[in-house]
A and B are shown apart, each in its own frame.
Chain A
Amino acid sequence: MSSYFSVDYMIKAFPTLLSYIDVTIIVTIVAELFGIVIGCVVAFLRIHKVKVLNQVCLLYLSFIRGTPFLVQLYLVCFGLPQLLQGLGYQDIRSIPGLLFVFLIMSIHTGAYIAEIMRSSILAVDKGQLEAAHSIGMSTYQAYIRIILPQAFQLAIPALGNNVISTLKGTSLIFNVGVVDMLRKADLMGSYSYRHLELYVDIAIIYVLLCFVIQVATYFLERRSTLGKELAS
């Protein structure tokens, strides 16, 4: 049995692979943060049906949701540099590849967060905006101070799921040259020919990360509902 699957090797390789977890986590966090910013802006434009921009947003959402993330990733990481070059920007090599990954992951995540935020904002009582206006706040102020904080509380479970999706998306970025756990596993596997052990290790890491996110979401959600209960 050990000739087919070496538990020893699996255990030995685990710390090595685990040491690359920072790339995965950083990419997830960056994508999620920028995604939230994009998502909130798009949600705002959609809800208030801002002329032209609303149509642009719809197109953006449809495209991101209608095409595979892998294709988007390749399009931005391989296609975009070519476009920049064609437009006369020759110094393409000086842009770090990770920047393209951050860019597309944020754009991708933003589309999904936009829908989450839209429904959360719509779920916030209409009277809140009116009340904010009535005390003289601008719409922008009302959103920042009143609407969005409430919407985020409602959105916690959905955002938690979104973080998990983003995390899962990071399993594809090794394709465009990012050195993460999967790239490392690829390299190690080509020496040891023990791919399965390495990918089982990675599977374990992903499951653990998912679990951590779920627990964090749970506590955040509980804290927010507790806060609401205390307030009422």
Chain B
Amino acid sequence: MNSIIDPYFLMEIFLKLLGYIPMTLGLAITSMVLASILGLFMLIIRMKKIPVLSKLAELYVLFGRALPTMIILYIVFFALPIALMIFAEKTGQKIEINQVPAVVFAVIGLTIHTGAYLTEVFRAAVQSVDKGQMEAAYSIGMTWWQGFYRIIFRQASVFAMPLMANQFLNLIKSTSIAFMITVMELFGAANVICADNNRYLEVYIVVAFIYWGMSVLFEKLFLVAEHKLAVFKKGSNL
């Protein structure tokens, strides 16, 4: 090794790693979509104050936010097979646990983690909507669902959007933890390359720059989207 950093080698790793971006983004996007659904579900449970369930939802948010992503991922990774085994035993069905790809565990873990944060984001967003809006919806004869969907949800989305974007940026970074449960995403692939040639410095520089690039790109993208959205908020000092 003559020079510390070999530019040709950097290029070579870069091209190799580019192929793993879809996996990383796929993980992030899938988990984001599922977490949004989960968060919305939790939000409605809490808004409608459904007994028991709403307490459970609170507990979920508490733990989901207090636990490191890594630990949630590990617990899912080790608990889910056991749950499946118990399920298989109880129902007599055959489930090949080994056939469940690690990606599934990663998506579930990341969804649980992000979902807890999104529940709080959604709650804050709904609280940001003036109470009178739901009253007005009721006053013209709408049901709770109609008022929630047509009025509250849409106004709250505008508030939630930047926070969700932020959550997504965090999620992209969190996907790197998935390599620890053997998922072959960007960082996992980088580590495999390292194992082959022991050139940590170059590989990790390249992988860091790829993540950095993605973050900056998505940040810019969300900023543009935010400006396009929220016509009804333009000029208002809300």
Mark out the residues of chain B between 64 and 123 whose CB falls within 8 Å of any chain A CB in the assembled complex.
Answer: 66-71, 74-75, 78-79, 82, 85-86
Q: Which residue of B lies closest to A181 (CB)?
A: B71
Q: Which residue of B lies closest to A213 (CB)?
A: B66
**Total contacts A-B at CB 8 Å:** 107
Q: Which residue of A83, A169, A203 is within 8 Å of B67 (Cβ)?
A: A203
Rounded to whole Å, the gap between the CB of B69 and the closest CB of chain A is 7
Rounded to whole Å, the gap between the CB of A79 and the closest CB of chain B is 4
Q: Which residue of B75, B85, B205, B216 is within 8 Å of A75 (Cβ)?
A: B205
Mark out the residues of chain B between 17 and 66 whose CB falls within 8 Å of any chain A CB in the assembled complex.
Answer: 63, 66
With A168-B68, A207-B66 in contact, is A87–B4 under 8 Å at CB?
A: yes
Cβ–Cβ contact A196 & B180, under 8 A: no
Q: Which residue of B lies closest to A78 (CB)?
A: B200
Interface readout for A156-174 with B: 1 if CB under 8 Å, 0 if not?
A: 0000000010011111100
**Chain A contact residues: helix, strand, loop or mixed:** helix
Residues of A within 8 A of B199 (CB): 82
B161 within 8 A of A: no
A52 within 8 A of B: no
With A68-B187, A70-B187, A196-B82 in contact, is A171–B211 under 8 Å at CB?
A: no
Cβ–Cβ contact A68 & B173, under 8 A: yes
A190 within 8 A of B: no
* Complex CA distance for A83 and B1, rounded to whole angstroms: 12
Interface size on A, residues (CB 8 A): 41
Cβ–Cβ contact A79 & B212, under 8 A: no
B167 within 8 A of A: no
A86 within 8 A of B: yes
Cβ–Cβ contact A74 & B215, under 8 A: no
* Complex CA distance for A232 and B172, rounded to whole angstroms: 47
Interface residues on B, range: 35 or more
Rounded to whole Å, the gap between the CB of B187 and the closest CB of chain A is 6
A230 within 8 A of B: no
B222 within 8 A of A: no
* Complex CA distance for A182 and B177, rounded to whole angstroms: 14
| Most A Cβ at <10 Å: residue of B63, B212, B216 | B212
Rounded to whole Å, the gap between the CB of B215 and the closest CB of chain A is 3
B125 within 8 A of A: no
Q: Which residue of B lies closest to A75 (CB)?
A: B204
B207 within 8 A of A: yes
With A62-B212, A68-B173, A71-B207 in contact, is A196–B201 under 8 Å at CB?
A: no
Cβ–Cβ contact A86 & B205, under 8 A: no
Chain B interface (Cβ < 8 Å from any Cβ of A): 1, 3-4, 63, 66-71, 74-75, 78-79, 82, 85-86, 173-177, 180, 187, 191, 194, 199-201, 204-205, 207-208, 211-212, 215-216, 219
Can you identify 26 A-B contacts, CB atoms within 8 angstroms?
A4-B82, A5-B82, A63-B208, A65-B215, A66-B211, A69-B173, A70-B176, A70-B187, A71-B176, A71-B187, A75-B204, A78-B194, A78-B201, A79-B201, A79-B204, A82-B199, A83-B4, A83-B201, A168-B68, A171-B70, A172-B68, A182-B70, A199-B74, A203-B63, A206-B67, A207-B66
